[in-house]
Chain A
């Protein structure tokens, strides 16, 4: 459980809130690069950390992310014309460049210099790995650009998607480090999903449904190890990485791609669940990419033209009670992502953690909260840069590995928990 004030501290991320300020220390995924596919394309509304923004790509390919509303009369610039290196408001023709600087006010004499006095709040927007990243903190102190391996391998080796989740970011993120739910909620998917099936490690999962967990602090967050019995008295370990504030990388399966998530607050009651798949040493196959686009693995199918999952709260998540009864799915909801999201959304927009009853196997969640609160205090009291900002904290990998019984997994798997270019992941 958390006290109400602790829950508020961790869940509220709007401007001026402590957690909102800390989130603004990081480069955050804001859009898929495909959302702004060409110069002078249509602008896109973006809401992040409870701020309404507009993203556009100008005539020279520069990306801009700024206040959605024109400084003149408060009209949405989503209706704007993206032309000649600027976004022009459709109402009275005020025009802004990618930095938010107003460059033209048609009703005022150019010589008056009035336009120079108008500037919308803007944030940098850079492309890496098919994702557009933004930094919403102090302009004078941007951290180094993101170095997550999925965003730095060649584009042919990586795939990212995002989906709208109708809950606070923290309950979504906590689902990502709640390893003990996998044996229940997702038990039907290991053998059937094309992005998981066939791995030898799956047999360890299925033959030992009661793993033992070990949680260890890492420089950027946590290692969460799930241990199962393997041959010859050894242990099969699945080691998940959590890096602050909201990045996870799930242990790989066989030769399949490695995958994980970011959970980024849209506002306090909605978040983006970013999902990525990549392979450090090979291209993703057409079949893999087709499966990801078709909502397999950790991805979803969409309501056409949106990033809203096809199965959502407005259609009761397409729950199939017959499939549930027959054991094809455990909750009646199809697909790993929506199995998670449906339950997390059912908790309400911001779950009341004063009423929960955590147990010992929830230590991953408990320790993540502890680390967030600890970092938040240091950040607020002394301005200390939080874990996860340093690119060294981002160059990590999850691992699936068999180790002798008395070896700390952080020692036995030390080398494979670090991203090394052109080195295959440790996977079983």
Chain B
């Protein structure tokens, strides 16, 4: 006689998996920390994400939506389940600490995303990593900026 483990892991049993949705939409805030990142984020925003809000914060203390209107940082963070900090390799990412601190206060998960790293020298990457690392639970350095879109789709953005 088959054990439960054998029977329940069969393809036939997979048909009986509960089909009801198993999650609620997650809200993601994507924040560009410098001009290079803002270009990437602006392009990304045109893809029609349902649960994502895009911002720029290219100097400490200022958060703007992509239309250029100022937005309170704490409201943006409070509304998010995940904050993605996007920075260009060699960019100063001045706002990383302030955004990161707001996320830390509210226990919001952060992902740091470094764009343009493929062509940047290690010293430039190092400079930006020093800003991002203290505030990122996960740091991603991809060859192509398109990865950020794939990552967001995978996270159900």
Task: Enumerate chain A interface residues (CB-CB to B < 8 A).
Answer: 1-2, 166-167, 212-217, 227, 269, 313-317, 342, 345-350, 352, 355, 357-363, 366-367, 369-370, 373-374, 405-408, 410-411
**B139 contacts the other chain (CB 8 A):** yes
> Is B155 in contact with A360, judged by CB distance below 8 angstroms?
yes
Please report which residues of chain B, range 80-115, place their CB below 8 angstroms from some CB of chain A when the two chains form the complex.
82, 109-111
A362 and B117 alpha carbons, distance in the complex (Å):
21
Residue of B nearest to A167 (CB): B9
> Is B22 in contact with A357, judged by CB distance below 8 angstroms?
yes
Residues of A close to B5: CB separation below 8 A: 313-314, 316-317, 342, 345-346
> Is A314 in contact with B138, judged by CB distance below 8 angstroms?
no
Residue of B nearest to A350 (CB): B11
**B2 contacts the other chain (CB 8 A):** yes
Residues of A close to B142: CB separation below 8 A: 217, 367, 370
B130 to chain A, nearest CB (A): 4
> Is A314 in contact with B2, judged by CB distance below 8 angstroms?
yes
Interface string of B112-142 (1 = CB under 8 A from A): 0000010000100111011001001111111
Residues of A close to B127: CB separation below 8 A: 406
Interface size of B in residues (CB-CB distance below 8 Å): 42
> Is A357 in contact with B147, judged by CB distance below 8 angstroms?
no
**B17 contacts the other chain (CB 8 A):** yes
| Chain A interface main SS type | mixed
Partner of B151, one of A348, A366, A373: A366
If the complex has contacts A2-B154, A316-B5, are A361 and B22 also in contact, measured as CB distance less than 8 A?
Answer: no
**B46 contacts the other chain (CB 8 A):** no
> Is B154 in contact with A358, judged by CB distance below 8 angstroms?
yes
A347 and B10 alpha carbons, distance in the complex (Å):
9
A43 and B21 alpha carbons, distance in the complex (Å):
50
> Is A212 in contact with B141, judged by CB distance below 8 angstroms?
no
A408 and B89 alpha carbons, distance in the complex (Å):
11
> Is B133 in contact with A212, judged by CB distance below 8 angstroms?
yes
Please report which residues of chain B, range 1-54, place their CB below 8 angstroms from some CB of chain A when the two chains form the complex.
2-6, 8-11, 13-14, 17, 22-23
> Is A408 in contact with B154, judged by CB distance below 8 angstroms?
no
The 10 tightest CB contacts between A and B, nearest first, are A406-B130, A411-B122, A214-B139, A313-B6, A313-B5, A216-B141, A366-B154, A348-B14, A217-B143, A360-B138
If the complex has contacts A346-B5, A360-B111, are A405 and B130 also in contact, measured as CB distance less than 8 A?
Answer: yes
> Is B138 in contact with A215, judged by CB distance below 8 angstroms?
yes
> Is B155 in contact with A213, judged by CB distance below 8 angstroms?
no
> Is B138 in contact with A212, judged by CB distance below 8 angstroms?
yes
**B156 contacts the other chain (CB 8 A):** yes
> Is B122 in contact with A405, judged by CB distance below 8 angstroms?
no
A355 and B117 alpha carbons, distance in the complex (Å):
32
Residues of B close to A1: CB separation below 8 A: 153-154, 156
Can you list 10 A-B pairs with a CB-CB distance of less than 8 A? A313-B5, A316-B4, A316-B5, A349-B10, A360-B110, A363-B140, A370-B150, A406-B127, A406-B133, A408-B141
